[in-house]
């Protein structure tokens, strides 16, 4: 039994670890959004073939945009993403990010573009670096620790029950005899 439980616990924890560690864009925790196959059509960096900022985005650009815009924060709003805000600065930043996507910059490039200007505050998904290790690995570590404590507690030899006091013993006798 215990081995089965252990195996199951490890399987669940492993599943969790893979979710947290997954770096595949779009597929983790987004219900399997399939990346479109049209990537090759993006122009090279520097070719600067930029569509008019207000024209509808192409499918490829839209897919990349959806993916990254949800991770960016609107700086002047009360906790909204860049994608959903109406503030003027948000509109400007959206335009900028869109043109960076169309120039072929990678997600990491776009993130560093914004972070070098606005700091870590602009990312909704904090980078994994020493100052955020507690954030990213803390819950996982806490889970393992809690499971370990619970397991040890369950395996502990049971404490002998407290001896009954005289009044309690009398009460038991009355109950059993009634």
Partner 1 sequence: MSAPSVNAPSQRMPRWVFAPLALFLGMVAFLAVGLTRNPQEIPSPLIGRPAPAFQLPVVGGPGVFNAAQFKGQVTLVNLWATWCAGCKDEHPILMALSLQPGLQMLGINYKELQASELSGQDPQSAEALQKATARSQAWLQKNGQPFGVNLLDMDGRVGMDFGVYGLPETYLVDRAGVVRFKHAGALTPEVVQHQLLPLLRSLP
Partner 2 sequence: MWPEVGHMALIMAAWVAVLQAVLPLWGSLSARRAGWQALARPLAVLQLVLIVLAFGALWHAFFVHDFSVKYVAHHSNTLLPTPYRLSAIWAGHEGSLLLWVLMLALWSVAVATFSRRLPQALVAQVLGVMGAVSVGFLTFILTLSNPFARQFPAPSEGRDLTPLLQDPGLVIHPPMLYMGYVGLSVAFAFAMAALLSGRLDAAWARWARPWTVAAWGFLTLGIALGSWWAYYELGWGGWWFWDPVENASLMPWLVATALIHSLMVTDKRDQFKAWTVLLAIGAFSLSLLGTFLVRSGVLTSVHAFATDPGRGVFILLFLVVVVGVSLTLFAWRAPQWAHASQPVAGSRESFLLLNSVLLVVAMAAVLLGTLYPLIIDALNLGKLSVGPPYFDRVFVPLMVPLLLAMVPGTVVPWHVARWAAVRSVLVPGALALLAASAWATWGAAPQDAGAVTTAGGWLTVMGGTLGGWIVLSGAWQIVQRLRLPGSPGLAWWGMQVAHLGVAVLVLGITGVKSFQVERDVRLGLGDSVTVAGVRYQLIGVDNHLGPNYLALRAQMKVFEGEPGNEREVGTLRPEKRRYVSSAMPMTEAAIDRNLWRDRYVSLGEPLAGEPPQWSFRVYHKPYVSWIWLGAVFMVLGGGLAALDRRYRQAASSARAPSAHADKGAGVSALRGAAPAALGSAGVAKGAVA
Could you tell me the smallest distance in angstroms from the CB atom of residue 47 to partner 2?
24
Which member of 34, 44, 88, 163 binds partner 2 (CB under 8 A)? 34
57-96 mask for partner 1 (x: CB under 8 A)?
A: ------------------xx-----------xx-xxx--x
Asked if residues 59 and 40 have their Cβ atoms less than 8 Å apart, the reply is no
DSSP state of 70: T
**CA distance linking residue 85 with residue 79, whole number of Å:** 9
String of contacts with partner 1 for each residue 135-164, x by CB under 8 A: --------------x--xx--x--xx-xx-
- Extract the tokens encoding 154: 């369950």
- In contact, 81 and 69? CB cutoff 8 Å: yes
| 3-class DSSP assignment, residue 72 | strand
Token look-up 């985005």 returns: 57
**Residue 115 binds which of partner 2, partner 1, none (CB < 5-8 A, kind-dependent):** partner 1
Residues that bind partner 1 (CB under 8 A): 54, 75-76, 88-89, 91-93, 96, 115-119, 121, 149, 152-153, 156, 159-160, 162-163
């Amino acid at each position: 039994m215990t081995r089965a439980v252990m195996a199951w616990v490890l399987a669940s924890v492993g599943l969790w670890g893979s979710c947290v560690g997954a770096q595949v864009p779009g597929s983790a925790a987004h219900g399997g959004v399939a990346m479109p196959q049209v990537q090759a059509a993006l122009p090279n960096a520097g070719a600067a073939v930029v569509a008019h900022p207000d024209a509808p985005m192409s499918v490829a650009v839209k897919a990349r945009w959806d993916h990254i815009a949800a991770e960016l924060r609107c700086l002047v709003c009360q906790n909204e993403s860049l994608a959903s805000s109406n503030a003027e600065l948000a509109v400007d930043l959206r335009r900028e990010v869109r043109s960076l996507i169309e120039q072929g910059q990678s997600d990491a490039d776009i993130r560093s573009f914004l972070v070098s200007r606005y700091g870590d505050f602009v990312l909704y998904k904090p980078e994994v670096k020493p100052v955020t290790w507690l954030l990213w690995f803390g819950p996982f570590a806490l889970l393992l620790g809690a499971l370990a404590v619970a397991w040890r507690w369950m395996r502990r030899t049971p404490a002998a029950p407290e001896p009954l006091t005289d009044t309690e013993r009398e009460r038991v006798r009355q109950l059993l005899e009634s």
